A and B are shown apart, each in its own frame.
Chain A
Amino acid sequence: MTASGVDVGERETAAATRGVARRRRRVPTPQRMLFFLVFLGIPLAVYLMFVVSPFAQSFYYSLTNWSGLSPSMEFIGLANYQRIFDDPVFWKSLRNNLALLIALPTITIVLAFALAVMVTIGGSTHGGVRGVRGAGFYRVVSFFPYAIPAVITGILFNFIYHPGGGLLNGFLNLLLTPVNAVLGIVGAEPMQDVGTAWLGDQRFALAAVGFAIIWTFVGFYMVLFVAGIKSIPQEVLEAARIDGSGRFRTSVQIVAPMVRDNISTALVYMGIFALDAFTFVSVMTPNGGTDNSTKVVSLHLYQTAFRDGRFGEASAMGVMMAVVTMLVAVVVIGLGRSKKEKR
């Protein structure tokens, strides 16, 4: 964003008196004290009261054997954490989360970026750099999946992946028809109809759930990236093209760095989502799939808390998950910052 709203004259005087502003920062005036109190105090109070304190309480619960219903609870130290360390299902769930953590942000963001580039600078080379015709249409419809509640998306994909009447297998079998015709002519055994239970087969289930998630989010991030790309000055893109840079190179070397903030926001948000994924997993595979192949920590946590009545242990899982998520966020934000400094 540029300072386009401010007169040049003002800017010059501002530079001249910068020292004054600095000094004021060191010695807060009463007015500034009030400003801080209001601007920082109110949001912090809300945050502390409604987010931090409940979590502090649940951290305490993680050290107890509270059932979630019983009137009393005993302090049992780290016993819940010990149980989790010995719980193979927890580790499997965490592994699934980490798989999603690697795949979801990468695929979603690459796809979203590619689509955003096509819409914005993928147009014909007549005149200025621009998007394809109908870009506005694509941009608007891309957003639709995000507006559908996750529960309904889950139901939709359940029908798509249905081993018998599902769209996916129906489509694959349609492709098989010509293949089998050819095989019939050469006298070979026809290939069997595809009847894969995508959500039940350990090899595909997690990927199948992941695809539904990617489908939901790609358009959303595409819209975000489009906004970012449009804020790149036209001259920069023109210059790149005149330099003989192809669209792919322009995208990777020029556009991507300029929307880096958008990309890192998307990374963090998708990453955090991948570490949760509760709604999609629980709608599509309510019990975490065959042999826990799609179980994620949030689902395991939910079952532990509300089905098994072990709120203490579930809280401990939540605390561990929060630590993992924080580590991921720190790494992503840290990477973003070090790049920024290099530049």
Chain B
Amino acid sequence: MSAPTHPSTHAEVRERGSGEQRRIPVRRRDRGSDGAGFSALHHAVLTLWALLVILPLLWTVYTSFKTSREILTDPFGLPEHMQWENYSRAWQEAKIGEYFLNTLIVVGAGLVAVMLLGAMCAYVLARFQFPGNRAIYYGMVAGLTFPIFLAVVPLFFVLKNMGLLDGRMGLVGVILSYVAFALPFTVFFLHSFFSGLPDEISEAAAIDGAGDFRTFFQVMLPMAKPGLVSVAIFNFLGMWNQYLLPLVLNTERDNYVLAQGLVNLQAQQGYKVDWGGMFASVVITVIPVLIVYVIFQRQLQGGVGPSTDK
């Protein structure tokens, strides 16, 4: 309860002179709740929370070293012997290595494309008045509300008619679908971002003689970076974990992505489920996500306030 006082300010000095007696109890209460005790409470809550999120992840990892029998009969016990075979099975039968590359191509290309198209579209909608602007915006946002599995069967035929199902073109079809279904959210999010940017900047750019294209790419886009990064992280995860779209649209085996490999692992076993192999492939697919996140999470902290996290 010995929290130090704040550096004095004018207000405090003035108050001290007039009504310090009345002020003290209020301050003391505040200090009490703001002080070490409160901080300890915060730590307790946060530690509990950290356990709640770390333990399941640990569970996933060590479960990937167990046999199916151990997983089912003693789901929370530790493995008796480390089942490294789970990983070799996951790698070989689920062809994780091969599908990993495909996933990188699909997610990488899809992410770049959706961020670019989404930013372009959001920028125009947010910063230019023209007839139909609202209608287009709401039409886009409405896309957030469509249940995706209603669209997949018609979408299959759309892609088929465009020749975007066969061979390596199949990947293009999948990428375009990823992009299209991530657009509504991207536009929705970035729209508020671009409309928050002050008018002066674009006008300044215009005075400088920058055209619309240059203004966008050289001025607006860099300024929107914090927003872009947040949305990109959303989209990356959405695409990485996307399952239904590739299942229906990505029909060439050579084009399979990780999610499909995971399902293969289950289908391969027929009536049996290879629990150990399944968890191993989950670990293999989750780790890259975590690595990407840990690398880029600092970007999420972008903002203009002084960093309070040291």
* Complex: A in contact with B (CB within 8 Å): yes
Whole-angstrom CA separation of A203 from B58 in the bound complex: 31
Residues of A within 8 A of B92 (CB): none
A130 and B308: CB pair below 8 A? Answer: yes
Residues of A within 8 A of B227 (CB): 1
A230 and B180: CB pair below 8 A? Answer: no
Contact A137:B50 (CB < 8 A) given known A51-B143, A129-B308: yes
B213 and A35: CB pair below 8 A? Answer: yes
Q: Which of B4, B128, B183 contacts A25 (CB 8 A)?
A: B128
A148 and B56: CB pair below 8 A? Answer: yes
Residues of A within 8 A of B300 (CB): 223-224, 226-227
Residues of B within 8 A of A120 (CB): 308-309
Whole-angstrom CA separation of A305 from B185 in the bound complex: 26
Residues of B within 8 A of A261 (CB): 192, 196
Whole-angstrom CA separation of A137 from B54 in the bound complex: 11
Q: Which of A49, A142, A156 contacts B60 (CB 8 A)?
A: A156
B150 to chain A: closest residue by CB: A318
Residues of B within 8 A of A81 (CB): none
Asked whether B146 is an interface residue with its Cβ less than 8 Å from the other chain, the reply is yes
* Closest Cβ–Cβ distance, residue A16 to chain B (whole Å): 9
* Closest Cβ–Cβ distance, residue A182 to chain B (whole Å): 26
Residues of B within 8 A of A227 (CB): 226, 230, 300-303
Whole-angstrom CA separation of A165 from B75 in the bound complex: 8
What mask results when residues 144 to 184 of chain A are scored 1 for a CB within 8 Å of chain B, else 0? Answer: 11111110110010010010010100000000000000000
Residues of A within 8 A of B38 (CB): 122, 247
A228 to chain B: closest residue by CB: B303
Residues of A within 8 A of B45 (CB): 115, 118
Asked whether A74 is an interface residue with its Cβ less than 8 Å from the other chain, the reply is no
Whole-angstrom CA separation of A54 from B150 in the bound complex: 8
Residues of B within 8 A of A242 (CB): 6, 9, 11-12
B183 and A46: CB pair below 8 A? Answer: yes
What mask results when residues 125 to 145 of chain B are scored 1 for a CB within 8 Å of chain A, else 0? Answer: 100111000001001111111
Asked whether B176 is an interface residue with its Cβ less than 8 Å from the other chain, the reply is yes
What mask results when residues 9 to 50 of chain B are scored 1 for a CB within 8 Å of chain A, else 0? Answer: 101100000000000001100110111101100110110011
B9 to chain A: closest residue by CB: A242
Indicate the member of A15, A148, A219, A234 with the most B CB atoms within 10 Å. A148
B50 and A141: CB pair below 8 A? Answer: yes
**Interface range for A:** 35 or more
Stretch at the interface among B80-88, B96-104, B200-208: B200-208
Contact A234:B230 (CB < 8 A) given known A39-B124, A42-B120, A115-B49: no
B147 and A318: CB pair below 8 A? Answer: yes
B201 and A3: CB pair below 8 A? Answer: yes
B42 and A46: CB pair below 8 A? Answer: no
Q: Which of A10, A32, A58, A232 contacts B305 (CB 8 A)?
A: A232
Interface residues of B in 59-113 (CB under 8 A from A): 59-60, 74-76
Asked whether B212 is an interface residue with its Cβ less than 8 Å from the other chain, the reply is yes
Asked whether B167 is an interface residue with its Cβ less than 8 Å from the other chain, the reply is no
Q: Which of B39, B147, B187, B208 contacts A10 (CB 8 A)?
A: B208
* Closest Cβ–Cβ distance, residue B11 to chain A (whole Å): 7
A46 and B34: CB pair below 8 A? Answer: no
Q: Which residues of B pack against A, CB within 8 Å? A: 3-4, 6, 9, 11-12, 26-27, 30-31, 33-36, 38-39, 42-43, 45-46, 49-50, 52-54, 56-57, 59-60, 74-76, 117-118, 120-121, 123-125, 128-130, 136, 139-147, 149-155, 158, 176-177, 179-181, 183-185, 187-189, 192-193, 196-204, 206-208, 211-213, 216, 219, 222-224, 226-227, 230, 237, 241, 259, 262, 279, 282, 285-286, 289-290, 293-294, 297, 300-310
Q: Which 3 A-B pairs have CB atoms at the shortest separation, nearest pair first?
A: A231-B303, A50-B180, A325-B145
Give me 18 other A-B pairs in contact (C-beta within 8 A), A35-B212, A119-B309, A265-B192 excluded: A3-B201, A5-B201, A10-B207, A11-B201, A11-B204, A38-B120, A39-B120, A39-B121, A40-B124, A47-B183, A50-B155, A55-B150, A138-B50, A153-B56, A223-B300, A226-B301, A230-B305, A321-B145
Name 22 interchain pairs, CB-CB below 8 A, sorted by A: A14-B204, A21-B203, A24-B206, A25-B128, A35-B211, A44-B121, A51-B146, A51-B151, A52-B143, A54-B154, A58-B151, A118-B46, A125-B6, A131-B308, A139-B309, A144-B53, A147-B237, A162-B75, A165-B76, A241-B6, A241-B34, A272-B145
